[in-house]
Amino acid sequence: MATSILDLSTQKALEGADSDDLRLIEGLRSGAAQAYEELLARFQQPVYALALRLLDDPSESADVVQEVFLKVFRSIGAFRGQSSLKTWIYRITVNEAHNSRRWFFRHRRKEVELDSEPQEARNWKELIPDGRLSPFDAAFEREQHVMIETALAKLSPIFREAVVLRDITDMSYEEIAEVLGVSLGTVKSRILRGREALRAELAGTLQDRPAPRLVPKTAE
């Protein structure tokens, strides 16, 4: 009888998590190597992408990702399953990014980066261009991403979080509300205002750019 009561309470506690999440959580709690691998395989890329879009700094994002997974591993025993595992991890990511941003503005604001070309520090695998895209398409896509990243960086963190969670990580409004800890109406409002601000920022960027001028030259 006692066992059934315990089972019911456990089931009730983890009702927000689906069966895959439950299996993963149990594996993590029991120290199964496969569960740790699966967690990283499922979440390291989206968490990194989210942190990168929230912070716009690869090195800071890497630190944040590490902090996020450290907290996940250490707090998985206390995870009560009131939300899905994904929502829980994303909430930790948003909070860690928020902390990192605050710390950055307090401490590192006045630092000058010596390495102005962080791309050079990447390894050769990351420098190999994508063979599926033509050079024009690759350049165009990169240009688009740079423009979007620049515009995102200029948004208020509150709106940026909402836009990134909705448009980049493709979370539902309800999940975003859980992650940010706000109401559904606030989520809609933030997404709307964030998108408008982003669109305005992009429009301003495009208008400020000088039109390309083609200068005819004779072949030598």
Q: State yes or no: residue 170 binds other proteins (CB under 8 A).
A: yes
Site string for other proteins, 2-41 (x = CB under 8 A): --------------------------xxxx-x--xx-xx-
Rounded to a whole number of angstroms, the minimum distance from the CB of residue 138 to other proteins is: 12
Q: State yes or no: residue 166 binds other proteins (CB under 8 A).
A: yes
Backbone angles phi, psi at 91, to 5 degrees: -65, -40
Could you say which residues in the range 180-219 bind other proteins, by CB under 8 A?
188, 191-192, 195-196, 198-199, 202
Q: State yes or no: residue 54 binds other proteins (CB under 8 A).
A: no
Q: Which residue has the tokens 């006692």?
A: 2
Q: How is residue 196 written in tokens? A: 């408008």
**Rounded Cα–Cα distance for residues 176 and 165 (Å):** 7
**96: nearest Cα among 70, 127, 64:** 64
- Amino acid identity, position 14: L
**92: nearest Cα among 77, 116, 76, 104:** 76
Looking at residue 130, the DSSP 8-state letter turns out to be P
Please give the residue ranges that form the binding site for other proteins (CB under 8 A). Answer: 28-31, 33, 36-37, 39-40, 44-46, 48-49, 52-53, 58, 62, 65-66, 69-70, 73-74, 122-123, 125-126, 141, 144-145, 148-149, 163-164, 166-170, 173, 188, 191-192, 195-196, 198-199, 202
